[in-house]
């Protein structure tokens, strides 16, 4: 069993599609091991995306991620990291396959509805960023 961190971003929360997105994870065999709705400060968003600190989109991305509430989840299942990335689709919705979350709900490469960890190392960092072991079941 593998765990990955998933975020429903402010654009998708505002569109009122939290349930539709979660249902896609469940229908594909992923379990919600932990979940909460939070509103990050700019500083918290900067800490979460610290690996992108030198990218040209870092400031805009962290503004976006702190503009409204998000839903953070730990998804659990076999190959959860890869499976979640498949369900999400490509980062840029213009390149996302039909039927993926980003194809259906993302606005553009930045406001792209969801985030998912991209490796076991980032999953470990990202899960710890939001949850203690006592909150994951």
Order of strands across the sheet that contains 70-77: 31-38, 70-77, 2-8, 114-116
Site map 13..52 versus ligand CMP, x via CB under 6 A: ---------------------------------------x
- In terms of CB distance, is 2 or 110 closer to ligand CMP? 110
Q: Are the C-beta atoms of residues 36 and 99 closer than 8 Å to each other? A: no
Min dist. Cβ of residue 91 to ligand CMP (A): 5
Q: Check binding of 57 to ligand CMP (CB under 6 A).
A: yes
How many Cα atoms occupy the beta-carbon half-sphere of 120 within 13 Å? 4
Nearest Cα to Cα of residue 111 among 56, 45, 65: 65
Classify residue 134 by its DSSP letter: G
- 11, 72, 115, 127: which is the annotated catalytic residue? 115
Stretch that binds ligand CMP, among 17-25, 34-42, 72-80, 104-112 (CB under 6 A): 104-112
Of the residues 61, 71, 72, 81, which one makes contact with ligand CMP according to CB under 6 A: 61
One-character DSSP codes across 2-25: EEEEEEE-HHHHHTT-HHHHHHHH
Catalytic residues: 115
Residues forming the site for ligand CMP (CB under 6 A) = 52, 57, 61, 91, 109-110, 112, 115
């Amino acid at each position: 069993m593998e765990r990955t961190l998933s975020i429903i971003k402010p654009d998708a929360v505002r569109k009122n599609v939290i349930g539709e997105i979660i249902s896609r994870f469940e229908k594909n065999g992923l379990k919600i091991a932990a979940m909460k709705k939070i509103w990050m400060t700019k500083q918290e968003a900067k800490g979460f995306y610290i690996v992108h600190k030198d990218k040209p989109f870092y400031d805009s991305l962290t503004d976006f991620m702190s503009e409204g509430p998000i839903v953070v989840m730990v998804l659990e299942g076999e190959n959860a990291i890869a499976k979640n990335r498949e369900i999400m689709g490509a980062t840029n919705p213009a390149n996302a396959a039909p039927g993926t979350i980003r194809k259906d709900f993302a606005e553009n490469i930045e406001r792209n509805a969801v985030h998912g960890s991209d490796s076991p190392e980032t999953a470990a960092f990202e899960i710890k960023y939001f949850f203690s072991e006592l909150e994951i079941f």
